Chain A
């Protein structure tokens, strides 16, 4: 499947986790993520769901007490901390504990969604999604990814050689006889690599730019970065210039994106293997886009649609809005698609037998 479809899906889940604290919505989406994780689990890799659960318990061990001792509002008071304590003193309420739990639940949902995403997508392939503007950074990263196995085996070799020479590894201090040759070897290797790159005509896939054009692009990037910072400040702190700040921020962002686009246009890339937008990828991408659009436009179709507020004057009972179904149900798509695919594959295997 196309990795962009998976990216859209994880973005849609993240948007839900960030924008609501409604326990029903969070719970159902977490269920969808769990189904996806189970479906994406390949036979070879062992499930890491247990570690996610353990991490979740840690998160709740932090979020629940922290919220309880800092939010002293609510109808259902459990007990009181002495009010002399700065910041933390005051009543401990059921609402505070509940909201702390929901904060943790949203964070767990986010972690689980990315765990499922990492399970579905081939990591090294993600590098290919990098836009052409980041040619140099992408190049450095691919070199690094390629050299990791070599470096790891060199590490083992050096350790073995030093052990043969009678070196014993007891503490951190004894690691220097590994570190120094490892670094020297890596630097040595980079000389060979750079010679190989030169001999294969490295850099010819980037169109040269006149000094003036390059200067203009860089100055524009600099100005738009400064403009965006200023715009944010005006938006957050300006009393009368809020709108101006917003406009400035938008204009600067547009200018920055234009610079990135212009830099990317200079790079010519060939693709030997392309990803195809298959029917399944399109279905997944469509579902994720629908969910994301509904979440982001939530304030338009009712001010309280995604909103959950247990403190007074709100109510502990979560309200349910029907349009939210549009954001939640599509998120089950990858679980269903992966199941279908797995069923199809096993059916095929049987006919082959």
Chain B
């Protein structure tokens, strides 16, 4: 219960720090020299995202993280990292299939950990460590977490449709949020007061971001969303059955 609350609060803080660059132009600035203190803002908000992940990771209660949960999470994380390394069409990789299915079958916390840790692991083995990694971990964690919150309809086809829908939505949203890590480079704080108008800070920033997103990243994200839907439609049913059968046999739970 308390663990879920911590996960939620960390997600809230994560969301707030992701939107932090849009809040910046709202700060009072002595025109025409742009505020010097805003220069280190990107560093601050990467640090905040890291802090969110740290808060979740440090508060995993020992009583829940028994050897069963650790073993299942570890092995599935490894499998997910392998799935990510298999190239698909258009830069698509099957990284979200397992977090969505496992999050739905085993719960939100399990999904969060599987999503975020498999990105950490695949970055470690693939030399992909960089400032984008905390964002990737947080966003992939959310993909698995929300899959755990989705309702569980009786009819299996309904359930599969729901998961496929979430696969499509999360494929698009993942791209939109991931682009935020380099947004301070595309639209640096030093330049903000050019378009700055009183009261327009957040909205204007979001509008400019929407334009940027539509111009550059929408196409790739649409590919990813379509890939997620396809994978869940093709493999969702048998894999979900296998996961549930395994849980009944092995008796483990992560609240």
Contacts of A48-83 to chain B: CB distance below 8 A: 62-63, 66-67, 70-71, 73
Inter-chain contacts of A303 with B (CB < 8 A): 33, 36
Binary flags per residue of A278-307, CB closer than 8 Å to B gives 1, else 0: 000000000000000000101100011011
Inter-chain contacts of B70 with A (CB < 8 A): 136, 139-140, 143, 194, 197, 202
Residue pair A208, B62 in contact (C-beta under 8 Å): yes
B93 within 8 A of A: no
Residue pair B67, A218 in contact (C-beta under 8 Å): no
Closest to A219 in B: B2
A228 within 8 A of B: yes
Binary flags per residue of B72-103, CB closer than 8 Å to A gives 1, else 0: 11111111011001000000000000000000
Q: What total of chain A residues lie within 8 Å of the partner, measured CB to CB?
A: 103
Residue pair A66, B186 in contact (C-beta under 8 Å): yes
Residue pair B194, A71 in contact (C-beta under 8 Å): yes
Contact A193 to B124, CB < 8 A, known contacts A114-B130, A134-B54, A221-B55: no
Q: How far is the CA of A198 from the CA of B70 in the complex (A)?
A: 11
Residue pair B71, A73 in contact (C-beta under 8 Å): no
Inter-chain contacts of A144 with B (CB < 8 A): 74-75, 77-78, 81, 117-118, 121
Residue pair B66, A203 in contact (C-beta under 8 Å): yes
Residue pair A124, B124 in contact (C-beta under 8 Å): yes
Inter-chain contacts of A66 with B (CB < 8 A): 186, 212, 215-216
Residue pair B216, A62 in contact (C-beta under 8 Å): yes
Inter-chain contacts of B216 with A (CB < 8 A): 62, 66
B161 within 8 A of A: no
Residue pair A14, B82 in contact (C-beta under 8 Å): no
B150 within 8 A of A: no
Residue pair B130, A111 in contact (C-beta under 8 Å): yes
A103 within 8 A of B: yes
Inter-chain contacts of A18 with B (CB < 8 A): 39-40, 42-43, 184
Stretch of B12-20, B151-159, B163-171 that contacts chain A = B12-20
Inter-chain contacts of A126 with B (CB < 8 A): 124, 129
Stretch of A28-36, A177-185, A269-277, A329-337 that contacts chain B = A177-185
Residue pair A114, B131 in contact (C-beta under 8 Å): yes
Residue pair A237, B82 in contact (C-beta under 8 Å): no
Contact A226 to B75, CB < 8 A, known contacts A141-B117, A148-B121, A194-B67: no
Q: How far is the CA of A14 from the CA of B36 in the complex (A)?
A: 17
Contacts of A192-238 to chain B: CB distance below 8 A: 193-194, 197-198, 202-203, 206, 208-209, 214-215, 217-219, 221-222, 225-226, 228-229, 232-233, 236-237
> Which one of A127, A146, A186, A296 contacts B76 once the chains associate, using CB atoms below 8 Å?
A186
Q: Could you tell me the distance in whole angstroms from the C-beta of B111 to the nearest C-beta in chain A?
A: 14
Q: Could you tell me the distance in whole angstroms from the C-beta of B235 to the nearest C-beta in chain A?
A: 5
Q: How far is the CA of A296 from the CA of B39 in the complex (A)?
A: 9
Q: How far is the CA of A59 from the CA of B182 in the complex (A)?
A: 11
Q: Could you tell me the distance in whole angstroms from the C-beta of A92 to the nearest C-beta in chain B?
A: 14
Closest to A208 in B: B62
Q: How far is the CA of A123 from the CA of B120 in the complex (A)?
A: 11
Closest to A236 in B: B23
Binary flags per residue of B32-66, CB closer than 8 Å to A gives 1, else 0: 11101101101100001001101101111111011
B234 within 8 A of A: yes
Closest to B38 in A: A19
B223 within 8 A of A: no
Residue pair A237, B26 in contact (C-beta under 8 Å): yes
> Which one of B34, B58, B79, B117 contacts A260 once the chains associate, using CB atoms below 8 Å?
B58
A172 within 8 A of B: yes
Q: Could you tell me the distance in whole angstroms from the C-beta of B4 to the nearest C-beta in chain A?
A: 10
Contact A123 to B129, CB < 8 A, known contacts A221-B59, A237-B26, A253-B51: yes
Residue pair A139, B74 in contact (C-beta under 8 Å): yes
Residue pair B2, A194 in contact (C-beta under 8 Å): no
Q: Could you tell me the distance in whole angstroms from the C-beta of B31 to the nearest C-beta in chain A?
A: 10
Inter-chain contacts of A296 with B (CB < 8 A): 40
30 pairs, CB–CB < 8 Å, chain A vs chain B: A14-B131, A15-B43, A19-B40, A21-B188, A66-B215, A71-B191, A110-B185, A114-B131, A123-B124, A134-B57, A136-B57, A137-B113, A137-B117, A140-B73, A141-B77, A144-B74, A152-B82, A183-B242, A186-B75, A187-B72, A193-B74, A194-B72, A203-B66, A225-B9, A225-B52, A232-B20, A264-B58, A303-B36, A306-B39, A309-B33
| Beyond known contacts A139-B74, A225-B55: 16 more, CB 8 A cutoff | A15-B40, A87-B211, A141-B121, A144-B117, A151-B79, A179-B235, A190-B76, A194-B71, A202-B70, A206-B62, A209-B62, A214-B63, A222-B2, A225-B10, A232-B13, A256-B54
Q: Which 7 A-B pairs have the closest CB atoms?
A: A143-B74, A147-B78, A194-B71, A144-B77, A236-B23, A225-B9, A144-B78
